[in-house]
Amino acid sequence: MARGGRPRKADWSEGAAKKKQAGVSDMTMLSKINNEAINDNLKQRFHNGDIYTYIGNVLISVNPFKDLGIYTHEILKSYENKNRMELPPHVYAIAEGAFRNMVAYKESQCVIISGESGAGKTEAAKKIMEYIAAISGGNSSSIKEIKDMVLATNPLLESFGCAKTLRNNNSSRHGKYLEIQFNSGGEPVGAIITNYLLEKGRVVGQIPNERNFHIFYQFTKAASQAYRDNYGISGPESYLYTSAAGCLEVPNINDAQDYADTLKAMNVIGISQAEQDQIHCILATILWLGNATFIEDGEGNSSVANPDVTNFIAYLLEVSPEMVNKVLVSRTIETSRGGRRGSIYDVPLNIAQAQSARDGLAKALYDRLFDWIVMRVNKAMQARGESVFIIGVLDIYGFEIFDQNSFEQLCINYVNEKLQQIFIELTLKAEQEEYVREQIKWSPIDYFNNKIVCDLIEAKRPPGVFAAMNDACATAHADPKAADNSLSQRLSACTHSKHFELYNGNFKVKHYAGDVTYNISGMTDKNKDQLLRDHLELCKSSKNSFLPALFPEPLDQDSKKRPPTASDRIKQSANELVAKLMQSQPSYIRTIKPNENKSPTEFNEQRVLHQVKYLGLCENIRIRRAGFAYRQTFEKFVERFYLLSSKTSYAGDYIWTGDSKAACVQILKDTGIAPEEWQIGTTKTFIRHPETIWALENQRDLYWHNMASRIQTAWRKYVAWKAMNATKIQRAWRGKRQFIELLKVREMGHQLLEGKKERQRHSLTDIRVFFGDYLYLNNCSSQSKARLIRDAAGIGNQRVMFSLGITLLIPRSMRSAIPMRRILVVTSDSIVIVDERLVNNLLQHVAESRTPVSTVKSVSMSPLKDGWMVIHVNGKPDIVLECDFKTELLTMLNMASQGRIRASFGSTITYNNKKMKQTQIKFVKDESCKHAVFEKKVVR
């Protein structure tokens, strides 16, 4: 709105420089609401380079797989203090909305980013953090330190928590909820990171053409010499855990540079060098554990194939080699009788069991190390002052459906079900609350509430999938296969749900994102996720204080309480996460992966359509449009459409004297919109169908079409009038202040020609001053013809002494030279000839020649009244031209050369032609000629 509460005056030229739009930027405005229409709209925008689209206040982001140049500092600043609808959809608009809502309404905010692996969730989270760090207030050193630390968490946690997968070169293999803490003034004072679902199984094995976590390749490729010597580090091909999948290099990933960024991030966060050494020691231990191999002895038990490897592992862990060897090839089992402790046995392991024990220790070390890094980061980012509000950014695994799905996929998909549940609840709730607040009548819409699927997985009564797993673990804890059989029997209790099927050692859950079949085999063992007592004892026996600190739990042999299972922990974490999110006002970013080939040009319609369906975008649009597709505040609606009513506008001016609400009603009535198509709320105007708002936009375009010619004519007249008056003022001003100086210049010209050349009568009798710049090259606008001439002349910021259209003698091949029109530009140091040409019906200006004034020897003229003159040049062809203001031109050349250039006169003038051969022009007095005529080197 303009000052005084009145709408900003409409501008016919608005949008002239805007990028051509493809599809609709807000899909609530789609004429058809179905998955295919959504897919087609996203496809159009993707191919147009528009990766962001709205559904109301929800942002849909399609991964472009290339840099579109839309994250520059200038673009970032353009979204600051802007309403979401003022600029095209962008992740910066979501960040701006969250930050401004926190400051304005004093409410904590959260940004929930969802989508499958490779859809761009991590990048979106990084852009959110970058934007908030850039625009949030505070210049103190502590606030700047917090901003730097928040940004430094990205490279650090990417190195330890991301990996190359088949779908994504930088796939997050953990979930992260970052809460940036703000004081009452909107200044960041601290941050907290909560970690979820680290895929620790990736440490010990990956499918072909995938990689372990980035940090292992960074470390092995770019470790310092000290680390290589102390920890036995060489290239990634030397270790089973990094080479078995056959992928050591990844396009567009520079492991050495990323390692430098990781170390820099550690320093920014404040991780000491001693702590960094310990981190690298644990990483080296994990790598060497993977190289521990086993052979079978005569009794079928395993033994270490190369004791040197286990000895080096013992050196890294600072424990005895005998204990490392014992932990890897045997397991301590304690029996109990009647609730009392029984005997303790060392049970030898076969090769498969020994490999499993080795991998279990490696996974435990990495899992605890990752948790320690997150704890250390949180300690460094502890709030420097009172924390009043937070902005949370959730970046977590996307929904996963593979050919073989196990316990990890069940946990990931369960968390996504929880997030989908609150998305539907909060979106629908917000829509309903707005209609109630605005006192609008609307009809509720039916939608799929996935709470039934969440209950199927997490409920205790009737028992869900997690409860069945826990019971199976408790009743058949000694034998994994027996536990899996027990789980299969107990899952039959879930078959009452239409979203569950059990068959042939598998079970199917009908998730909101699609049906997923899970393999029961190994699930109970993964659900136990218990650290073996032998491993705990080994780590606690270390002489290095850092290692026991990673395993703070006591060796409680007498505890009868069942330790929490992995499903217990993920269920608790998910519910805590939901509770946190429900305490904040949410913003949503739904990410989409356009293809599996990471191609910036391919849009796989079937692939995207599947994501459109499971993200529930169609349902989201229906909820948004359950009552009305478009809503806008009274002030913004009037500002946009006041032109359409004669009661609210006249000649483009806003003339309504009432309030904005009454103006909205008047506009809608005068445009003929049916009453059932709109409603007026307490602060907003609501339009039911998108076709109606399109009709208003078309009327607005038609208004400009009808008014354009009048506006253009008036503008041209105004510009012409302004230029004319400016010329008058300039002339009067020059006449007043420079009259004496100009008279002196004029007198100088008379003296140069006096008694030597016949003069035109008006040259002697009128009082014309020597203006010089007759083409106005010294005072030209950026789009004028004068600017084009000046640019073509290439004179930069030099002042023009003389400019005028002239007749120039142009040489021709094998024929006589002929006079042709050209433009002459003279400055203090050069003479430039400019030609005007038509090229493809476009007028172009080209500099034909440039002659330094310093190379001009003299000027030759006839004694007659003609305007022809020859400018003699050293070492170059002479310039032969006819100029109406010959006296003034000669004077300007004389001034430019500080009096050196003077004129000679004669009826025959000799000059050097294009080939530097001497040629003559003769001048003959002919009373029958009113004007000088050039013909066959004779001027009459």
Q: How far apart are CA 878 and CA 117, in angstroms?
A: 74
- Both tokens of residue 77? 């600043």
| CA 397/CA 513 separation, integer angstroms | 14
Indicate which residue of 41, 61, 63, 117 is catalytic.
117
Cα 399 from Cα 413, distance rounded (Å): 5
Active site (annotated) includes residue 597: no
685 is catalytic: no
Burial class from Cβ neighbours inside 10 Å (0-12, 13-18, 19+) for residue 652 reads middle
Among the listed residues 39, 165, 171, 183, the single catalytic one is 171
Among candidate residues 571, 373, 283, the one with its CA nearest the CA of residue 455: 571
Count CA within 13 A, CB hemisphere, residue 53.
32
Measured at the alpha carbon of residue 195, what is the angle toward residues 192 and 199, in degrees to the nearest 5?
160
Counts for the chain of helices (H) and strands (E), in that order: 30, 33
Q: Are strands 188-196 and 294-296 parallel, antiparallel or unpaired?
A: unpaired
Establish whether 400 is a catalytic residue. yes
Helix, strand or coil, per DSSP, at residue 16: coil
Question: What does the alpha-carbon distance between residue 194 and residue 922 come to, in Å, rounded to a whole number?
Answer: 97
Strand duo 868-873 + 856-861: pairing: antiparallel
| 119 within 8 A of 591, measured Cβ to Cβ | yes
Residue count (the chain): 940
**CA-to-CA distance for 835 and 845, rounded, in angstroms?**
6
d(CA 285, CA 550): 14
Is 172 a catalytic site residue? Answer: yes
Any residues with CB less than 8 A from the CB of 626 and at least 6 apart, and which? Answer: 431, 442, 443, 444, 445
Where do runs of H (alpha helix) occur along 449-562? 451-458, 465-475, 480-490, 523-528, 533-540, 546-550
Catalytic residue from among 97, 118, 749, 867: 118
Catalytic residue among 136, 172, 645, 862: 172
Specify whether 275 is catalytic.
no
- Catalytic annotation, pick one of 53, 153, 154, 168: 168
Q: Which residues contact 279 (CB under 8 A, 6 or more apart)?
A: 271, 369, 373
One-letter amino acid for residue 196 of the chain: Y
Active-site hit among 130, 400, 635, 882:
400
Residue 116 three-state SS: coil
Strand partners, 110: 392, 586
Burial of 598 (0-12, 13-18, 19+ CB in 10 A): middle
Is 398 a catalytic site residue? yes
Contact 296, 193 (CB under 8 A): no
Q: % helix / strand / coil in the chain, to the nearest 5?
A: 45, 20, 35
Report which of 336, 88, 44, 366 is spatially closest to residue 205, judged by C-alpha positions: 366
Residue that is written with structure tokens 């770019």 in the block = 222
Residue 919, CA distances (Å) to 560, 580, 595, 808, 817 in order: 119, 95, 75, 16, 11
Measuring CA to CA, how many Å separate 329 from each of 305, 349, 366, 496, 786? 11, 5, 21, 45, 90
**Helix (H, G, I), strand (E, B), or coil: what is residue 873?**
strand
Catalytic residue, from 56, 115, 190, 398: name it: 398
Give kind and range of the element (H or E) at residue 519. strand 514-519
Indicate the burial class of 81 (C-beta count within 10 angstroms; 0-12, 13-18, 19 or more): exposed
What's the rounded Cα separation, in Å, for the pair 793 and 825? 8
* Active centre residues (catalytic): 117-118, 122, 168, 171-172, 398, 400
